[in-house]
Amino acid sequence: MSLKSFPAAFAAILALSTAAIAESHIMVHDAYARSSNPKAGAAFMHIMNNGQETDRLLAVTSDVAARTELHTHKEDANGVMKMTHVEEGFEIPAGGMHMLKRGGDHVMFLGLKAPFEDGATLPITLVFEKAGEILVEVSVDQTRKAKHSEGHEGHDHSGHDH
């Protein structure tokens, strides 16, 4: 490479890396939401990380509820499944995925501003440690049955109606 062509090649590399940063490695599939009562709802989805680095879903924001939190289900000492707020969020491994599913990790909507209507679209923003904010449109699907691996149908979120 001559001295003259070096700056041009360097500029090309810079342009390439800028494009790579602008494109998110996070992909969200099969997002849907449902509510089991008029005051609370939950959203489920598959989050894929096609990047080289582990990322983390830190938080979710939305305008559909007073609060939107990341939750999981855990068994307490008496064997009863309880929902808990996961402050540290969910890790999305590089080249892997993390599922938000019924009976497991989920996005929780507390204090719905209006009851979920079947077929409606809810805009929510996922906040990732590395990928930043990603807007996702989640459709309300009240009729979808939980898969067998996804815990029990009709799990009650009513304990969260404060």
**First and final CA of the chain: distance in angstroms?**
68
| 132 backbone φψ class: left, alpha, beta (φ>0; ψ -120 to 50) | left
Residue 47 or 83: which CB sits closer to Cu ion? 83
Instruction: Report the residue count for the chain.
Output: 162
Residue nearer to Cu ion on the CB measure, 100 or 131: 100
Using DSSP, how many helices (H) and how many strands (E) does the chain show?
Answer: 1, 10
Cβ closest to Cu ion, residue 31 vs residue 83: 83
Residues that bind Cu ion (CB under 5 A): 71, 83, 108
CB 71, min distance to Cu ion, A: 3
Q: How far apart (Å, rounded) are the C-alpha atoms in residues 146 and 149?
A: 8
Classify the C-alpha dihedral 49-52-57-60 as positive or negative.
negative
Of 26 and 42, the one with the shorter C-beta distance to Cu ion is 42
DSSP 150: G
Taking the complex as a whole, how short is the minimal distance between the CB of residue 72 and Cu ion, in angstroms?
Answer: 8
Nearest approach in angstroms of CB 105 to Cu ion is 9
Q: How far is the CB of 93 from Cu ion (least distance, A)?
A: 23
Q: Collapsing DSSP states into helix, strand and coil, what is residue 46?
A: strand
Task: Find the shortest distance in angstroms from Cβ 106 to Cu ion.
Answer: 6
Q: Rounded to an integer, what is the distance from CA 148 to the centroid of its chain? A: 21
Q: For Cu ion, which is the closer residue by CB, 50 or 84?
A: 84
